[in-house]
Amino acid sequence: MERARHIAIAAALALLAASSAQAATPEALAHYRATLKRIAVDQKEARALCRSLSGQPRRVCFAEADADAKKATAAAEADVRDTPRARRNAKIAEADANYAVARVKCGEKAGDERRECLKVAKTMQSDAVADAMKAK
């Protein structure tokens, strides 16, 4: 449930930034800065909720909160820059954030199962980065 909330917040912020960001006008830059502040506040609130947990769920919660903030920040930057390179970097940042969460989730496993989980996570990240590099 918390993960869904985090994703919804990140998506809303990205859509908000995408809908009103323009090519580096002063208004767009002000909106970008405001979006970054909201992302930071949302991340702080999400991390505060994570503090009530313990053990592996706490680590996963922190990783998800940080990943959501990284994704939303990258999306906001891509929207304000509005270049193919910025959009590619946003996709790469999303892949890296997802990989960071997957690594933490793999931490609850042991032995061969953990190694396989990490291998799958790395493969997914590599594929996402490769797809981002191919897109123009």
* Residues 103 and 60 sit within 8 Å (Cβ to Cβ): no
Q: At what angle do helices 84-106 and 111-134 cross, to 10 degrees?
A: 180
Give the tens place of pLDDT for each residue, 101-133: 999 999 989 999 999 999 999 999 999 999 989
Could you state, in order of their start, the residue ranges of all structural domains in the chain? 2-134
Under 8 Å CB-to-CB from 85, ≥6 apart: which residues?
Answer: none
pLDDT at 14: 54
* Residues 124 and 99 sit within 8 Å (Cβ to Cβ): yes
Give the tens place of pLDDT for each residue, 3-42: 555 554 555 555 444 544 445 688 888 899 999 999 999 9
pLDDT at 27: 86
Indicate whether 91 pLDDT > 60.
Answer: yes
pLDDT at 22: 42
Give the tens place of pLDDT for each residue, 49-66: 999 999 999 999 999 999
